[in-house]
Structure 1
Amino acid sequence: MRFLFFVAFLFFPLATYAACEGRDLRPDLSADMRAQLDQAVSGTPFSEGNHWIATKGDTVLHLIGTLHTNDPRMDGVMERLAPALSDADAFYFEVTKDKMDGFEQQLAQDLSPVLITSGPTLIDLMSEEDWAALSTELADRGIPGWMAAKMRPWFLSMMLGVPPCMTQDEDASYGMDARLTDLAVELGKPQYSLEEIEDLMAMFNEHPLEKQVQSLVRMASAFESSEDQLATMVNAYIEEKHGEILHFARLQGLETSGLSQDVFDEEWGSFEDQLLVGRNNNWMQHILNIQDQTAVIAVGAGHLADEFGLLNQLQQAGYTLERAPF
């Protein structure tokens, strides 16, 4: 989420990191890993395509899979997309920029939504070994241990997903959703949110703190993002292979986590249910209420694919789907 970059800037304005210069990891995959990845992708509905048009009667929905991370190649994408989206009646985002800006302003005054404000801290809830490993990784991102100890586990999981090189790039969060927001403003089109930030925060905190800590410890290495992982994700996104991004992350996460298949599947399933399945189902209630107009639905590309993906759900709801240029 974009507010992660904001919090990083707020906490650590003096830190300096080199620009991200990772390399795509996919060419280095073993033959066995490549075969597993290809098999997983081939069994996933709507695993490719960042621009789909869903039509039902007089309702036309342009579904754009976005990436919250900046990449200069997105400039060309926007030049191609803008004419096709210019006739839209409205733009729908996960959360609109105005609402996110308001949340960021509140967070600048009150960090309690991302902090443990009472009771034991993470130091008390983890073994010394686990805390030492986690605090080392967070220190690489400029987060001191005394501060990390008071942060909510789900928030630290997300921070681990931000490579250190991104925390001081002022354009890091100028991804496709930000570009589409600018287009909506330029066209004078109304913007709507598919979810409320308060509901999202409540979802992150629905599990007891102890359960969040357990998941953080188990999956810390799997969720840790490097420059190479970032480059892999961005390249796959530009190639419109959003299904491959998630399956690659899962296979690599299993390999790096050191967990058994069963334990990893339990944790990954929880992550998937929370961040993808549940949110998709909630969004669909809003999307299906869009009637007799043309609308842009701009959401993270990972929400498009699979049985629980927005595209498959729209098809099941009677929409005709057509892949469009991106």
Structure 2
Amino acid sequence: MRVLILLTCLLLPISAYGACEGRDLRLEMSSEERAELDKALSSIVFPEGNHWIARKDNTVLHLIGTLHTNDERMGDVVERLTPTLSKADAFYFEITQEEMDAFERDLAQDFSPVMITSGPTLIDLMAEEEWAALSANLAERGIPRWMAAKMRPWFLSMMLGIPPCLMETPDFDRGMDARLTEIAKEHAIPRHSLESVEELIAMFDSHSLEEQVQSLVRLAGALQSGDDQLMTMANAYLEEKHAEIIQLAKIQGQRASGLTPQEFEAEWEGFEDQLLVQRNNNWLQKILPLKDQTVVIAVGAGHLADTHGLLRQLELAGYKLERAPF
């Protein structure tokens, strides 16, 4: 998500990285791996499509699944979407550009929202071998050992998922959200947030420090992302296969974690509940009251699919859904 990418920029020396040059991991899957992925996808509702129109009475919602990192291929997509979206009455983003900019300015002066400000550090809360492995992985991302020891575990979990090479990708944070913001600005369309940065951080901090550490240790191997994962995600996104992105990450994450399937499933459910289910439910409290207008809802594509996804929840609320060109 964009807030974590921005935090990364503030914390890390950009010169430490090289540009991303990954490969699409789906092309190297065995027939057994492909079958496993297809089986996982078969039970998911609304697994594809980055542009859906939800209609109810005189209310029209254009749901756009976004990718928060830049890919030059998005330019053609935006060109196709602009004639339709530029007629909207309002845009709703996870968090607007203005609110993100304000938070970034505040964070430049005070890093406490992502730091352990009192009590034991991660060195004290982890076994020696666990800390050695984690700090080595974070060092590859430019985070020195002394700094990592004082960071909130939820933040480090997210940092592991950001490929180090990303920081030298041109305009790396000009993802679909940023490009849609440009449309709204150009046409003077009001923009609103579905959540605040403070609410997001409070959700991440809702578990105790000890619980966060335990989850970080158990999922560290699964959370790490590199050039290949980034390329795979971008390609699948532009193919509008958002559920495939999540299910592939889950399958590969289980293998990388070293956990039993049962152990990993428990950790994954908690991860998914916090990042997707809870946030979707919170956002619906702002989306469902919208009446008699045409609105663009631009959120990460991973929030669209499955029974907890926005599409299914809107369908249950009486909206008629139609997949639209992207």
Q: Could you tell me the TM-score, scaled by structure 1's length? A: 0.98
Partner of 2:77: 77
> How far apart, in 2, do the equivalents of 1:117 and 1:110 lie?
11
* Aligned 1:207-286 pairs, distance under 5 A: 207-286=207-286
Matching residue's letter, 1:187: H
> How far apart, in 2, do the equivalents of 1:29 and 1:11 lie?
35
Most deviating of 168-177 and 234-243 = 168-177
Partner of 1:289: 289
Contact 2:91-2:184 within 8 A present in 1 as well: yes
Contact 2:13-2:142 within 8 A present in 1 as well: no
Contact 2:242-2:302 within 8 A present in 1 as well: yes
> How far apart, in 2, do the equivalents of 1:118 and 1:61 lie?
45
Partner of 2:134: 134
Gaps of 5+ in 2: none
Partner of 1:181: 181
Partner of 2:313: 313
C-alpha deviation, 1:27, in angstroms: 1.3
Q: Secondary structure at the match of 1:218?
A: helix
Identity of paired residues, percent?
A: 65
Deviations 1:41-90 (A, max 9, x none): 12100000000000001000000000001000000000000011121000
Contact 1:122-1:150 within 8 A present in 2 as well: yes
Contact 1:9-1:168 within 8 A present in 2 as well: no
C-alpha deviation, 1:26, in angstroms: 0.4
Q: Secondary structure at the match of 1:143?
A: coil
C-alpha deviation, 1:12, in angstroms: 2.7
> How far apart, in 2, do the equivalents of 1:181 and 1:81 lie?
13
Q: Could you tell me the TM-score, scaled by structure 2's length? A: 0.98
Most deviating of 9-18 and 172-181 = 9-18
Partner of 1:119: 119
Q: Secondary structure at the match of 1:298?
A: strand
C-alpha deviation, 1:170, in angstroms: 5.2
Dislocated runs of 4+, deviation >4 Å: none
> How far apart, in 1, do the equivalents of 2:8 and 2:89 lie?
35
> How far apart, in 1, do the equivalents of 2:195 and 2:11 lie?
27
Partner of 1:92: 92
> How far apart, in 2, do the equivalents of 1:93 and 1:14 lie?
27
Partner of 2:155: 155
Gaps of 5+ in 1: none
Partner of 1:201: 201
> How far apart, in 2, do the equivalents of 1:133 and 1:308 lie?
34
Deviations 1:243-276 (A, max 9, x none): 1000000000001101011110110000000000
Q: Secondary structure at the match of 2:63?
A: strand
> How far apart, in 1, do the equivalents of 2:252 and 2:125 lie?
27
Contact 2:49-2:240 within 8 A present in 1 as well: yes
Deviations 1:81-130 (A, max 9, x none): 00111210000000111011111111000000000000000000001101
Partner of 2:60: 60
Matching residue's letter, 2:152: R
Name the count of aligned residue pairs.
Answer: 326
Q: CA RMSD in A?
A: 0.9
Most deviating of 86-95 and 6-15 = 6-15
Matching residue's letter, 2:121: T
Partner of 2:43: 43
> How far apart, in 2, do the equivalents of 1:203 and 1:8 lie?
19
